[in-house]
Amino acid sequence: MEHAVSIVKCTGYDKCREAIDKALSLIGGIERFVKPGSRVVIKPNLVSKKRPENAVTTNPDFVHAVICAVERAGGTVTIAESPGGSYNEARLRAIYAACGMDKAIEGTNAVLNTDTSFTEVEHLTGKTVKKLPIIDPILNADVIINLPKLKTHAMTSYSGAVKNLFGTIPGTYKAELHFRLDDKAAFCSMLTDLCERVKPTLNIMDAIIGMEGNGPTSGEDRYMGLVMASADPYALDMAACAIIGYDPMEIDMVREAHERGYIPATLAELDIRGESIESVMIPDVVKPETHFNLLKLIDLPPKLNALLVDKLSAKPKINYRECIACGECARCCPPEAISMESGRPVIDKAKCIRCFCCQELCPKSAVKIKRPLLNRIMIKIIR
CATH of the domain at 38: 3.40.50.11440
Asked if residue 287 is part of any domain, the answer here is no
Q: Give residue 71's identity as a one-letter amino acid code.
A: E
User: Mean pLDDT score of the chain, rounded to an integer?
Assistant: 92
Whether 8 and 97 map to the same domain: the answer is: yes
Identify which has the larger pLDDT, 84 or 118: 118
Please tell me whether residues 339 and 270 are part of one structural domain: no
Tell me the average pLDDT across 348-368: 89
In this structure, is residue 285 part of a structural domain? no
Q: What is the CATH number of the domain that holds 345?
A: 3.30.70.20
Asked whether the beta carbons of 132 and 194 are under 8 A apart, the reply is: yes
Note whether residue 115 is domain-resident.
yes
List Cβ neighbours of 16 (8 Å cut-off, separation of 6 or more).
10, 59, 61, 62, 65, 208, 227
Q: Confidence class of residue 296 from pLDDT cuts 50, 70 and 90?
A: very low
What's the pLDDT at 382?
A: 43
**In Å, what is the CA distance from 62 to each residue of 129, 162, 324, 352, 382?**
33, 19, 32, 36, 41
In 3D space, the residue among 285, 235, 243, 229 whose CA is nearest the CA of residue 62 turns out to be 229
User: 102 in a domain, yes or no?
Assistant: yes
User: Does residue 110 have a pLDDT over 60?
Assistant: yes
Last-in-domain residue among 218, 246, 280: 280
Structure confidence at residue 182 (pLDDT): 84
14 and 162 in one domain? yes
The whole domain housing 193 covers 4-280
In a shared domain, residues 59 and 131: yes
Query: Which of the pair, 9 or 371, is modelled with greater confidence?
Result: 9
Residue at 342 is within a domain: yes
Count of structural domains, the chain: 2
The rounded distance, in Å, linking the Cα atoms of 160 and 147 is: 9
Query: Cα–Cα distance between 134 and 112 in angstroms, integer?
Result: 17
Looking at the fold, whether 306 and 225 belong to one and the same domain comes out as no
Beta bridge pairs of residue 258: none
- pLDDT at site 383: 45
83 lies in some domain: yes
* Claim to verify: residue 216 and residue 247 sit in the same structural domain: yes
Domain end among 280, 312, 345: 280
21-38 pLDDT per residue, tens: 999 999 999 999 999 999
Over residues 247-273, the mean pLDDT reads 97
Q: Based on the domain organization, do 61 and 125 belong to the same domain?
A: yes
Residues 77 and 104 grouped into a single domain: yes
Within a domain: 323: yes
Task: Say what the pLDDT of residue 294 is.
Answer: 45
Q: Is residue 367 located within the same domain as residue 326?
A: yes
- What's the whole-model pTM score? 0.89
Q: Give the pLDDT band (50/70/90) at residue 211.
A: very high
In a domain, 68, yes or no: yes
Q: Is 107 in the same domain as 205?
A: yes
Could you tell me if 48 and 140 lie in one domain?
A: yes
Q: Same structural domain for residues 271 and 303? A: no
The last residue of one of the domains, among 231, 258, 280, is 280
pLDDT-derived band at 289 (thresholds 50, 70, 90) equals: confident
**Whole-angstrom distance, CA of residue 287 vs CA of residue 226:** 19
